[in-house]
Structure 1
């Protein structure tokens, strides 16, 4: 295993709290912006930017632009990973936050297809690409900001803090949409209400920047810079080493179950429950919000478990839980029961997904040596996100359409994905000491 505990400046408790706050606030803002788009793709964008005679076609087009952001993420991971490994973690975290905030606010101001025609979806896709580039560089830097400042024995707990931002960001996005939907009629919400949530991102970005600009560079990067060990071209050095290549491959496959689970229960389920099962939009959004808040609360506990029992063991437990419960959960959701829908979404996001999210950041960081760590872990997370995350809503929409809306196709897909991820984790044990 690649050491993350070597030669750290001890630092004060106050300094570590500021570092963790900077990591948490940054990822919260980034994921709020990124997944706000996902919620809008489920509820608003098919009507405003991709109107179609067939509702399924319009939804798939909207989810297709959602997937575009995931295609851009590995490019962002390479770009900002290079900057982070060469020039420092802090610089990338400021740049990614500014880019994400600007793109999100501009989406909120974008005219619909009825106003400017085909330019509307084209500009939407362009702004989604900017979002993808930004979040592609954000995650790795936020994790390293936390883990490379962690004291020995608490790396898992520190590494879990940026993952809390995933739950908080999703909860903010769905919660704001639920609040706006309750406060105004459907016509007003579709007309302008949804835009408020996007433009409000500028306030969160300003708060995040104030905190991040107070943080120093990580001790690990300062050590590399002082000793002349910085990688000249991190991506080249990453692929040159056989162990790092294996880490990339196994890491991407291991993350498949995590990415598919989150984008099933946090993104696709919103569309499925409201348009196919015809449950109340606000009930579904509130259930997702509650699940995301429970996830945010449990992720630090999972980080503690990862320190005690090992990152791979805890992450693997989450993968197994995801695979075993996928089909029963889809069957329960398909029943049309609001109570079962709430139990499924809160349980899947708040408990099952938390087991994976709380352990994965440190697990992937430990796959790579420090000079290429930012680039390597960013490629694992963002590269796998293309198929594991971004394409999941499109795949599930297509599978359910082919199966006549029956839940076995979607549940079977998630079960198969979990098996692939579990085999990758078990293989990882053989060569990662």
Structure 2
């Protein structure tokens, strides 16, 4: 007598709190590491690593090293994306965090130019490249941990948690610099806007060394994760791509281009508000290229106040994007960024109150545009290439919108004789490019994240299909259903699309795909939320 059929044991799942904490803590640490370099690049690195240059050239050289990391980020996105799409998200995220932590710690023990000459500068560049390489693999993996474990109707909300790491990392990093600066004040008679001798000698190293503690906590949290069911089913069904990058470039290049320009205004606004503004705000009003003339402590406190709005509106943006759609939310916010660039000078012309309002408005817009990206970019790509595709879009945009933004901003600041009106016009121009990309794109909030799911076309001719034509799901569960629709580990049909994306979906008949059923390259369907 045959043994009764038994259902396979359910795959282990991550709890909601574990998913949200793991996606948040990793990006908080990564952005903390990035921000403390950005702060040091303005405060101490020009004099410690580029002492033979005039102040403006030294600042530009320091920004050049900062920008070098942006060039390394797409390389990291390709490498970590390949590993994440083939081997899994968990191990890849652990590797990216560990790489970032080691590079940041080593910056904290580097010799200065006075101690080692050009070797010190070369080592700084090398560590900065390692930071960028690691961050290239961090964001997309953290976003996937959040969105692939989220209910469908809350993907944008879950996707805001890795984004929340940006303002939290800023607050922790700059808060630590403030505390150290307060404990190591300048001597009597010294310029209070400049760091003290003790700070220049060893105080700046402490935030870099402290990152080791944060990385240890982050590794402990991430080691407790299990793979999301969406990716586990793709692995079990043999749908893993041998070369995810090749698949993305061949089949999803339009999504890649659109995703890159979706992020453009976000990046420009981000680095103008967090890095350029720190230099602009601290530069004396009597300098050759005048700034706002605030001392470091006062201006950073003003920035931290603005970043609180960044954090709050990052979380606010998620439910709005879940309800009204990612595209509409981002179109409205991008219009706001365009207007913000044009009112930059009138705002700061109002004095301290105007500067505070400028920071609040800028960081509020930053939260509203950055938050939905945690769901939007992953939704552009199918599971088997999602890590690679979303990571490349995110990080190629960092070159266009961040690596060159600081150079352009400083050059325009000088061209305007200290007035940032040209910088504001530059921001508005980048917002216009993003707006065009969003208008060309389509809504993604209803896409299915499961590989091959959500592909059936719904409508009068396909709903209520006769039971006799249905293809029942194989008894092995979701993985067997996917495998049945895609024989062969790497199998593609004659059209070039994976066979898994053309078969029956959970007991519904295989149906012909219509182009209008697709949303930015990934099809919609009528299944319920992804269960995690």
Instruction: Judge which range, 67-76 or 337-346, deviates more.
Output: 337-346
1:210-289 to structure 2, matched below 5 A, reads 210-241=220-251, 244-275=252-283, 276-289=291-304
Q: Give the 3-state SS of the residue equivalent to 2:15 in structure 1.
A: helix
2:199 corresponds to 1:189:
yes
What runs of 5+ residues in structure 2 fail to find an aligned partner? 1-9, 186-195, 284-290, 444-518, 525-532
Deviation per CA, 1:158-214: give whole Å up to 9, x if none. Answer: 111100011101111111112221221222222211111110000100111111111
Deviations 1:134-175 (A, max 9, x none): 000000000000100001211111111100011101111111
Q: Give the secondary-structure state (helix, strand or coil) at the position aligned to 2:46.
A: helix
Shift of 1:303: 0.6
Q: Tell me the CA shift for residue 408 of structure 1.
A: 1.7
1:153 aligns to what SS in structure 2?
A: helix
Q: 1:144 maps to which residue?
A: 144
> SS of the counterpart of 2:442?
helix
Please, which of 407, 410, 420 is the counterpart of residue 397 of structure 1? 410
- What is the SS of the residue equivalent to 2:380? coil
Residue 509 of structure 2: aligned partner? none
Which residue number corresponds to residue 386 of structure 1?
Answer: 399
Q: Deviations over 1:338-358 (max 9, x none)?
A: 332222123211x11111111
Q: Retained in 1: the 8 A contact 2:23–2:162?
A: yes
CA distance in 2, matches of 1:87, 1:67: 30
Alignment partners' CA distance in 2, 1:11 and 1:86: 20
Map of 1:6 onto structure 2:
none
Contact preservation (8 Å) 1:174, 1:288: no
Structure 1 CA distance for aligned equivalents of residues 372 and 168 of structure 2? 17
Among 288, 292, 299, the residue aligned to 2:307 = 292
Q: How many residues align?
A: 420
Name the structure where helix makes up a greater proportion of residues: 1
Q: Report the TM-score, using the length of structure 2 for normalisation.
A: 0.77
Q: 1:355-403 CA distances to partner (integer Å, 9 max, x unpaired)?
A: 1111112111111111111000000100110120122111100111122
Q: Deviations over 1:250-285 (max 9, x none)?
A: 111121100000000011100011022221211111
Secondary structure, counterpart of 1:190 in structure 2: helix
**In structure 1, distance between residues paired with 2:335 and 2:167:** 21
Asked whether the 8 Å contact 1:315–1:360 carries over to 2, the reply is no
What residue is the counterpart of 1:306 in the other structure?
A: 321
Distance 2:405 2:178 in 1: 23
Equivalence for 2:73: 73
Match in the other structure for 2:335 = 320
User: How do residues 132-211 of structure 1 correspond to structure 2 at under 5 angstroms?
Assistant: 132-185=132-185, 186-211=196-221
Q: Deviations over 1:309-345 (max 9, x none)?
A: 0011112222111110113224433x48333222212
Q: Mind listing any 5+ residue stretches in structure 1 that lack a counterpart?
A: 1-8
**Aligned-residue CA RMSD in angstroms?**
1.6
Residue 5 of structure 1 corresponds to which residue in structure 2? none
Whether 2:390 is the aligned partner of 1:377: answer yes
Q: Which has the higher contact order (CA 8 A, sep 6+)?
A: 1
- Residues 73 and 135 of structure 1 are in contact (CA less than 8 Å); yes or no, is this contact kept in structure 2? yes
Alpha-carbon distance in structure 1 between the residues aligned to 2:176 and 2:404: 25
CA distance in 2, matches of 1:331, 1:255: 26
Alignment partner, residue 4 of structure 1: none
Report the Cα distance in structure 2 between the residues aligned to 1:194 and 1:45, rounded to whole angstroms: 10
CA drift of 1:53 comes to 4.2
Counterpart-to-counterpart distance in 1, 2:360 and 2:106: 32
Matches of 1:160 and 1:60 in 2, distance apart?
33
**Post-superposition CA distance 1:21-57 (Å, at most 9, x none):** 0110011001100121111111111111112442111
Question: For the Cα contact (< 8 Å) 2:306–2:359, is it kept in 1?
Answer: yes
TM-superposed CA distance for 1:11, in Å, is 7.5
Instruction: For residue 372 of structure 2, give the secondary structure of its aligned residue in structure 1.
Output: helix
The question of whether the paired residues in 2 share the 8 Å contact of 1:163 and 1:357 is answered with: yes
In structure 1, the residue matched to 2:39 is: 39
Q: 1:397 to 1:19 in 2, by over 3 A?
A: same
How far apart are the structure 1 equivalents of 2:335 and 2:350?
26
Of 404-413 and 284-293, the range deviating more from structure 2: 284-293
Contact 1:323 1:415 in 2 (8 A): yes
Q: Secondary structure at the match of 1:229?
A: coil
Cα separation, partners in 2 of 1:183 and 1:343, compared to 1, 3 Å:
farther
SS at match of 1:306: helix
Give TM-score scaled by structure 1 length.
Answer: 0.94
Secondary structure at the residue paired with 1:426? helix
